Amino acid sequence: MRALGELLKAVDGEYAIKTAQELVRIPSENPPGREKDVTEYILRELKRLKFDDIKISEAEPDRPNIIAKLHGRLGTRTLLLNGHMDVVPAGSGWTVPPYGGVIRDGRLWGRGACDMKGGLAAILAVAKAYRDAALQPEGNILFTFVVDEEMGGKKGTGFLADRGLLKADMAIVAEPSNFRLSVSEGGVVWIKLIIHGKQAHTINAKAAINPIEKASKVIQELQRLNEKLQKLRHPKFGSPVLSVNVIRGGDKINIVPAQCVLQADLRLPPGIGISVKEAQAYIEQSLKELTIQDSLLRVEMEFSVVAYPFEQPEDTQIVELLKSATKAVLGHEAEWWHRDTGAILPKEDSDVFHLWTKCRIPSVYFGPGEVELAHAVDESIRIEEIVQAAKIFTLTAFMAVGG
Amino acid sequence: MRALGELLKAVDGEYAIKTAQELVRIPSENPPGREKDVTEYILRELKRLKFDDIKISEAEPDRPNIIAKLHGRLGTRTLLLNGHMDVVPAGSGWTVPPYGGVIRDGRLWGRGACDMKGGLAAILAVAKAYRDAALQPEGNILFTFVVDEEMGGKKGTGFLADRGLLKADMAIVAEPSNFRLSVSEGGVVWIKLIIHGKQAHTINAKAAINPIEKASKVIQELQRLNEKLQKLRHPKFGSPVLSVNVIRGGDKINIVPAQCVLQADLRLPPGIGISVKEAQAYIEQSLKELTIQDSLLRVEMEFSVVAYPFEQPEDTQIVELLKSATKAVLGHEAEWWHRDTGAILPKEDSDVFHLWTKCRIPSVYFGPGEVELAHAVDESIRIEEIVQAAKIFTLTAFMAVGG
């Protein structure tokens, strides 16, 4: 236990806070995807920490992902610590400078403070703790600093996963989760239905095909489908939801319009026995049957899978280790957080999605920061949480790969 | 017949064309309602023509209507000649200057050329013909030059009618009609339905009330009403039409919106045994019953009567006189034109509406110009039609009130 004591003593809270502050001061908005300055900052930091195995891999120019490996004595097991470098655009309406890195009232303020430069700093603090304690772990720690998470991660974690660059036995994705645990996610499919009619003046309405009237049938059919889907149920994620949330048709009150557009949002829990593909086919089939009943109904359908549902077991080793470490550092158990039940997320596939579905690495979405503040105006993070995260991650690493 | 010969000889075609051209060169757009320069031009012209009974009456400052009376020898009967001085805004996209008054290819080009400065000039030419022929008619000719027709005429003909200033036995409203006759008009009611729901994220859809789903029920109910209304039928104007032509609901695909707005267009022929009020009550009642069946449906209704339906007999004297005069001048019968069947008009109450429904003056919508060009870019009128109109109106006047 002497090694653990040395390691925990070496967790440098001030370093973690200062690093988070410096990272907030470097804009890395995505879109458009300008992570490069953050990449360079982290590369300098990794070199200062004497990493000798650093790989750069990019899906497109100027959007480099970093893979840095802290080699273990035996190297039999590997823990992956993942963080994304991009932030959503600051937007307007801020009462603090979004890239000022102001620390006030115990909080670090700015775009990305919470999502997730606090988490990035906590990960870097793990590396520094091992270096400062002059400890080499038994297993490896793989650090990945990635781009593009805010747009679905296809050029970030997804890209590294696709290229087979990620080998690990477990992973932490240090996203803001209020220190809650998430390993599975619901799916999101956005559906656009364009209903084609035939335009005419009201006075020639008999020659028209009114797409708004046709849309009313489609809406009611989708409502029936929603009721059927409700019968499927995940004990934690609940039932699917299919909801028509946007409708637009016509712009002149005296003209029967040529088309009416519906947008529907489908939420699909994982593990309920229906895949995204099957749900899509189910909807397509139902609407096709409707067009058979009504030969004047013409519907064009577009399905966009925003996020695929996936389910990991909840009793993996990394979950147990994070639970113990959280209990040790915070004094209470980490709760479960079933994303997409009661939260607006996910908007895109998360990096946990890529790590689990592509690499089968048991991965946990877990980190400092109140998720409610992510993407918000006047985003901030309690600086104490950054330090707590550094401690939890370091302790977890020690338990996972030794010291 | 010598008097008629003198009178027709005195119809000054060049004067009519030149007057139309000069009127086109004076912008009088409505909105905003800047008819005053045209009023001043016409007043100068009437004084030059030695009118000694000219009244000005305005509903609001700087929007004067003119009532000029050519007194007859006996004055027992009165013919009213009506024309509006306002034009719709020119807008953009013209290939000729909209207020240049260019004459080319046998046409006068510009905003208002067709609707209805050509008609105004033809009316003035009637007055000039009587003066130049030194004829005093037996009955009176009342000339009204009015504002505001393009916005419903409440400050123009409607205002004069409301104040009891219009006494006549018959009237011609010299609007562009391709020399077709119109005496009755269909009604137009615009209906706005605001369906109130309860907003929530898709994932909390169970706590939401989806106004788009509720709208689908309302649309289908309106469709049923439309089918019922179809059973009513006017032999010339056909059946009512109720059509939902605009729908707007939501703007975020992941949020069940708070409301959905429908806009429906109701066309109501005259003389089918159902008034605007009754039609409105019928729709209101049906939707109220729907809210009783579905206690979560909340509909707010707004009805705007754009134009009231009205029907005049088609065998009035002024119709017969115009038919004869048209036959004499053009060599063919004037056809009937049932406005609102096959045409986008009326957009507002016409001046015929005001004259008939408020003053019970048998009135005909009849004049030079292709109605398809009214309000259009590159509006124009065949100059020959202006001269023909001057002749038809003069001949009609002679037959109506003598010379």
By annotation, the residues of B acting in catalysis are 86, 149
Closest Cα of chain A to B270: distance in Å? Answer: 14
Average pLDDT of chain A is 94
What's the pLDDT band for A22 if we cut at 50, 70, 90?
Answer: very high
Q: Which of A140, A115, A114 is nearest to A126 (CA)?
A: A140
In three-state secondary structure terms, A382 is strand
Residues of B with CB under 8 A from a CB of A: 188, 190, 201-206, 208, 210, 212-213, 215-217, 219-220, 223, 241, 243-257, 260, 262-265, 267, 340-344
In this structure, are residues B378 and B94 in contact, taking their beta carbons and an 8 Å threshold?
yes
Which of A202, A220, A265 is opposite residue B245, by nearest beta carbon?
A202
Average pLDDT of chain B is 94
CATH number, domain of B263, equals 3.30.70.360
Say whether B247 and A215 touch across the interface (CB within 8 A).
yes
Tell me the pLDDT tens digit for each residue of A74-86: 998 999 999 999 9
Q: Is residue B8 located within the same domain as residue B135?
A: yes
Cα–Cα distances (Å) from A273 to A29, A239, A286, A354, in that order, read: 38, 11, 19, 21
pLDDT at A107 over 80: yes
Q: What is the pLDDT of residue A342?
A: 45
In this structure, are residues B282 and B190 in contact, taking their beta carbons and an 8 Å threshold?
no
Domain containing A325: what range? 2-184+310-401
Q: Is residue A56 located within the same domain as residue A144?
A: yes
Q: Can you read off the two tokens belonging to residue B271?
A: 């003389």
User: Please, which contacts does B294-298 make with residues 24 or more away whose CB atoms are closer than 8 Å?
Assistant: B294/B214, B294/B217, B296/B209, B296/B214, B297/B195, B297/B214, B297/B217, B297/B218, B298/B195, B298/B196, B298/B197, B298/B214
Mean pLDDT computed over B194-222: 94
Say whether A245 and B202 touch across the interface (CB within 8 A).
yes
Residues of A with CB under 8 A from a CB of B: 188, 190, 201-206, 208, 210, 212-213, 215-217, 219-220, 223, 241, 243-257, 260, 262-265, 267, 340-344
pLDDT at B346 over 80: no
Mean pLDDT computed over A38-52: 97
Closest Cα of chain B to A14: distance in Å? Answer: 39
pLDDT at B2 over 90: no
Q: Can you read off the two tokens belonging to residue A198?
A: 């035939």
Cα–Cα distances (Å) from B360 to B164, B334, B348, B351, in that order, read: 12, 23, 19, 12
In this structure, are residues A115 and A175 in contact, taking their beta carbons and an 8 Å threshold?
yes
Which of A287, A307, A327 delimits the end of a domain?
A307
Tell me the pLDDT tens digit for each residue of A300-340: 999 999 889 999 999 999 999 999 999 999 999 999 987 55
In three-state secondary structure terms, A98 is coil
Say whether A203 and B263 touch across the interface (CB within 8 A).
no
Mean pLDDT computed over A33-49: 97
Which of B212, B245, B254 is opposite residue A250, by nearest beta carbon?
B245
Q: Is residue B238 located within the same domain as residue B334?
A: no
CATH number, domain of A114, equals 3.40.630.10
pLDDT at A2 over 80: no
Q: Is A315 a catalytic residue?
A: no
Q: Can you read off the two tokens belonging to residue A399?
A: 């338990």
pLDDT at A191 over 90: yes
Q: Is residue B83 located within the same domain as residue B210?
A: no
In angstroms, rounded to a whole number, what is the distance separating the alpha carbons of residues B15 and A400?
102
Q: What is the pLDDT of residue A29?
A: 97
Tell me the pLDDT tens digit for each residue of B285-306: 999 999 999 999 999 999 999 8
In this structure, are residues A308 and A152 in contact, taking their beta carbons and an 8 Å threshold?
no
Closest Cα of chain B to A377: distance in Å? Answer: 19
Residues of A in contact with B205 (CB under 8 A): 241, 243
Q: Is residue B213 located within the same domain as residue B82?
A: no
Q: Is residue A19 located within the same domain as residue A8?
A: yes
Say whether A210 and B243 touch across the interface (CB within 8 A).
yes
Tell me the pLDDT tens digit for each residue of A246-291: 999 999 898 899 999 999 999 999 989 999 999 999 999 999 999 9
Q: What is the spatial order of strands in the sheet that B78-84 belongs to?
A: B54-58, B64-70, B140-146, B78-84, B170-173, B363-365
Which of B205, B252, B260 is opposite residue A241, by nearest beta carbon?
B205
pLDDT at B194 over 60: yes
Gyration radius (Cα) of chain B, Å: 24
Mean pLDDT computed over B165-186: 95
Closest Cα of chain B to A188: distance in Å? Answer: 10
Q: What is the pLDDT of residue A62?
A: 96
Q: Is residue B162 located within the same domain as residue B268?
A: no
In this structure, are residues B15 and B383 in contact, taking their beta carbons and an 8 Å threshold?
no
Mean pLDDT computed over A109-113: 98
Which of A283, A307, A331 delimits the end of a domain?
A307
Which of A257, A292, A307 delimits the end of a domain?
A307
Q: Is residue B143 located within the same domain as residue B259?
A: no
Closest Cα of chain A to B279: distance in Å? Answer: 17
Structural domain total, chain A: 2
Could you report the predicted ipTM of this complex, rounded to two decimals? 0.78
> Which helix (H) or strand (E) element contains residue B70?
strand B64-70
Q: Is residue B96 located within the same domain as residue B65?
A: yes
Q: Is residue A217 located within the same domain as residue A109?
A: no
Q: Is A53 a catalytic residue?
A: no
Q: Is residue A199 located within the same domain as residue A273?
A: yes
Q: Is residue A205 located within the same domain as residue A282?
A: yes
Say whether A344 and B219 touch across the interface (CB within 8 A).
no
Q: What is the pLDDT of residue A201?
A: 85
